Structure 1
Amino acid sequence: MSVRIYHFFTALIGIGIVALSLFVFFHIQKIEVSGNEYTDSNSITELITEDPYGTNTLYVCGKYMLGKGKSLPHLDSIKVSIGKPWVLKVHVKEKTVSGYIENENGIFYFDGEGMVVLKSNTHTIDVPLIEGVEIGELNLYESLKTEEKEVFKELLEATRLLQTQEIHADKVVYKNNSIYVYYGAVYVNLGTKVSEDQILQLPPIIEKLEGQEGTLHMEDYQRGNHTITFKKGEIPPDS
């Protein structure tokens, strides 16, 4: 009986030593965050280590591998892996920022679906300013609210398509019943409906118009009329 008790306590002590070793050896000493362009690394670090066992690399990595880890509304994904036993590697994929709205409370960046993903006091991301529609109260991680839903939908589509073509416009504005893209001193009139065909034509045309000022009329392009005219010196009306 004493031999069995001896083996039991020996095994128990051994398990304890292994558990303690795992706890000490895999205790997080460093977290490397990558993939984030506008999300603060500290907020990601706090998110993944916030529960009672969040100081252990094995635990945190296993939690995210099993899909049990928390995320943030503006992140598409979080992948966690272990570098050295005490080093946690975190790679995030953020939602793509499409544009921003600015008011007295700051600058609000939003994604392609119109959700506010970042609030800032300074202009930090090269995306176009959106103007011309009345927007309600702006809150982080909430969708932009407006009564002009159809117009705003087209403005969002314009920002999305501009991004796919890597066109860094200054502003996308709705005025005088038309959507205008401001690119330096070149103003592109897209009409009331924005199409991919319109945006695909822009890069080579804008390159040729560099240094000039005027309005590029593309409002009829999507209706089967492929004629594009540039009226030098013409600027969008005030209203």
Structure 2
Amino acid sequence: MREEKHHFSPTRFYAVNIIFLIPLIILAFIVFLILATNVTAVEVNGNSLISDAEIEGLVMTGKYKNNGAFDVIKNRFRPAQIPFVRTTSVSLKNFHTLVISVKEKKLSGYVRDSKNNYVYLDENGTVTEIDQRLLGNAIPVEGISTKKKITEGAAYPAAENRIKALSTIFKTAKNQDIAIEGITFGSSGQITLDCGSITASLGTADSLKEKLMRLANILPKVEGKSGILHFEDYTADNTDIVFEKTKTD
């Protein structure tokens, strides 16, 4: 009988060893991360509405919350739900320093709901947050209360023409640097802006953007005074604005 010979194959030998080594290397790397990334310092950036401590407490959770690698991986696949925060990014600055970077939601204005919560809106009239706390520099809005269900991420369920007008006010005020302390919609659609010592009675939403542009030009001229700017009769043909000074004794 002929004895069968087995030829040694270097390629096959190395391939088999690599297949076994890869899982071991990955496992060793994971063990290294677990043992080496004990968090002793946390840096939080991008926040102005809520505290570092609140963000840290919501991001670093679970049995292994003080392990940086665990925090990074967990928040990669299951981001923390943080009030007033749109996105969260978690990374390691070094083996012992965790960095939490957030992008906050836009808070252009707010209304109060039936439970006395603050319902925050962005410049498009979309509900961005519902919370019991009054935070940021959002403008209070009166006259658009609703009995309909209010949902975060959806348009505020008030009359469409009022939300459109509100959006115009938010955007124009931001672009023209108009300091507004309050917005009120009357029962007949009349719009009033509280600009500190000056009240702007805008009338209806007709030519609203033009009225706001004119308001931006007038406010510096009446700085230090108090009274009412009347825009009710403003049209393309009648751009005169009446300033009714506050009477003093």
RMSD value, Cα: 3.8
Pick from 153, 170, 174: which aligns with 1:163? Answer: 174
SS in 2 for 1:97: coil
Hey, what's the Cα distance between the residues in 2 that align with 1:131 and 1:88? Answer: 43
Q: Choose which of 89, 93, 104 in structure 2 pairs with 1:94.
A: 104
Counterpart residue number, 2:225? 212
The 3 A distance-change label for structure 1 pair 51 and 228 is farther
Specify the alignment match of 1:45 in structure 2: 56
Q: Which residue number in structure 2 is paired with residue 227 of structure 1? A: 239
CA contact (8 A) 1:128 1:168 kept: no
Q: Partner residue of 1:177?
A: 189
Give the TM-score of the pair, scaled to structure 2.
Answer: 0.68
CA contact (8 A) 2:229 2:241 kept: yes
Q: Give distance in 2, aligned partners of 1:171 and 1:194.
A: 20
Inter-CA distance 80–15: structure 2 relative to 1 (3 Å threshold): closer
Could you tell me which residue of structure 1 aligns to residue 127 of structure 2? 115
Measured in 2, the distance between the counterparts of 1:192 and 1:105 equals 28
Q: CA deviation at 1:208?
A: 1.4
**SS state at 2:145 partner:** coil
Whole-angstrom distance in 2 between the partners of 1:96 and 1:19: 38
Identity %: 21
Alignment of 1:1-239 (within 5 A): 19-50=30-61, 55-61=66-72, 68-70=77-79, 72=81, 74-102=84-112, 105-112=116-123, 113-121=125-133, 123-136=134-147, 141=152, 143=154, 145-175=156-186, 176-190=188-202, 191-193=204-206, 195-218=208-231, 224-225=236-237, 227-233=239-245
Q: Distance in 1 between matches of 2:198 and 2:212?
A: 14
Q: How big is the shift at 1:94?
A: 1.0
**2:92–2:99 Cα contact (<8 Å) kept:** yes
Work out the number of aligned pairs and report it.
222
The TM-score, its normalising length taken from structure 1, stands at: 0.71
Partners of 1:58 and 1:144 in 2: CA distance = 38
Distance in 2, Cα, partners of 1:185 & 1:204: 16
